[in-house]
Amino acid sequence: MDRDFISTARTLSEALPHIQRYADAVVVVKFGGNAMGDDEAMAEFARDIVLMKHVGIHPVVVHGGGPMINELLGKLGIESRFVRGKRVTTRETVEVVEMVLSGLVNKRIVQAINDAGGRAIGISGKDDDMMVCEADDPELGFVGRPIEMNVQIIRDLYLAGLIPVIAPVATGMADNETFNVNGDTAAGAIAGALRADRLLLLTDVAGVKNAEGEVLTQMHPDQVKAMIADGSVSGGMIPKTETALKALEDGVRAVVILDGRVPHASLLELFTEQGAGSLIRSSEPRAKPHGLRQGDRGL
Ligand SMILES: Nc1ncnc2c1ncn2[C@@H]1O[C@H](COP(=O)(O)OP(=O)(O)O)[C@@H](O)[C@H]1O
Ligand SMILES: CC(=O)N[C@@H](CCC(=O)OP(=O)(O)O)C(=O)O
């Protein structure tokens, strides 16, 4: 028999204990605009999500789309500025943000998942008042900080066999208010409210790096806090690691920061012994099912 087929069969067999540990697990995947890539990369991401669903995981996709917002704002001649990684959002900007995120980007992901044989449904934080925000900081305008989460709609969707795909746009306490929410912040708030088993933050670096530039594969929250304090975590990695710390406090079992540009990054993390990226967790994993060895990432 062709050796390649034997190795494919072995790979599938080796995935069994990992598939077993994630039975019924809730995995929130943040898919950032920079990780999205071309149509082929989008199709691969969609296949990974559909595969997760088929082996009994409940994947929940929360997406960004910063570069796509920049593109349309540019065409419209509207300038935007970022303060501490967040877009200063005027009333005019927030309309464009909602058009791009809830329209173009959300439907592109929904369509890719459906093309891969899944049943995706696209919503934003506005649907069923899922995510209610207040202004994060007066300097940022219509940028929202989640203050109330109503995630039953997400559970209803995944229990009905659907894959929720969520745009980080939210409603406020006042009528007719729209907030632009940073994609990482939204994913963390959703994962926290769901007490998710995993929050995967797909980005454009291999993981959290130390001062020597090495990716740290397993981290305790105290280590992350120390790295933020001593400046070895900086720029866009600050909101990402802060989101991770908050999500863990809210009851997410573990957060993984990994490179979304690597083909099948999520599958590598979930279904192989070595995993991918930086896994941040405060407690020891739960009892390991048969077949997992010491040192595995556990659940
Ligand atoms: N310690 C660190 N480890 C890894 N990346 C870091 C670190 N400190 C700063 N960064 C920067 O953070 C960036 C990731 O944040 P960002 O660009 O906002 O991601 P995304 O667009 O996917 O949300 C990396 O590309 C890197 O330049
Ligand atoms: C408040 C804020 O900054 N919102 C982001 C929302 C999109 C996002 O987060 O996109 P990425 O994940 O691709 O960066 C923005 O306007 O760009």
> How much of the chain exceeds pLDDT 70, in percent?
94
163-167 and 178-180 beta bridge pairing: unpaired
Please indicate whether residue 204, judged by its CB atom, sits closer than 6 Å to ligand 1: yes
In this predicted complex, what is the ipTM? 0.94
- Atom index in ligand 2 nearest the CA of residue 35 equals 13
For residue 294, pLDDT beyond 50: no
pLDDT value, residue 298: 65
pLDDT value, residue 57: 96
Higher per-residue pLDDT: 256 or 290: 256
Judged by phi (left if over 0) then psi (alpha if -120 to 50, else beta), residue 38 lies in: beta
Say which CATH superfamily domain 18-280 falls into.
Answer: Acetylglutamate kinase-like (3.40.1160.10)
For residue 28, pLDDT beyond 80: yes
Q: Where are the domains of the chain?
A: 18-280
What residue owns the CA closest to ligand 1's atom 1?
233
Q: What six digits make up the tokens of 248?
A: 């863990």
For residue 51, pLDDT beyond 80: yes
Instruction: Provide the pLDDT confidence category of residue 34 given band limits of 50, 70 and 90.
Output: confident
Question: Which of 69, 56, 67, 139 minimizes the C-alpha distance to 100?
Answer: 69
- 278 Cα: distance to centroid of ligand 2 (angstroms): 22
Interatomic CA distance for residues 259 and 279, integer angstroms: 12
Please indicate whether residue 208, judged by its CB atom, sits closer than 6 Å to ligand 1: yes
Instruction: Provide the pLDDT confidence category of residue 207 given band limits of 50, 70 and 90.
Output: very high
- 109 Cα: distance to centroid of ligand 1 (angstroms): 23
Instruction: Provide the pLDDT confidence category of residue 288 given band limits of 50, 70 and 90.
Output: low
Please indicate whether residue 73, judged by its CB atom, sits closer than 6 Å to ligand 1: no
Taking residue 266's Cβ as centre, other Cβ atoms within 10 Å add up to 26
In this structure, of 8-17, 104-113, 201-210, the range with the lowest mean pLDDT score is: 8-17
pLDDT value, residue 194: 97
Interatomic CA distance for residues 182 and 180, integer angstroms: 7
- Atom index in ligand 1 nearest the CA of residue 237 equals 12
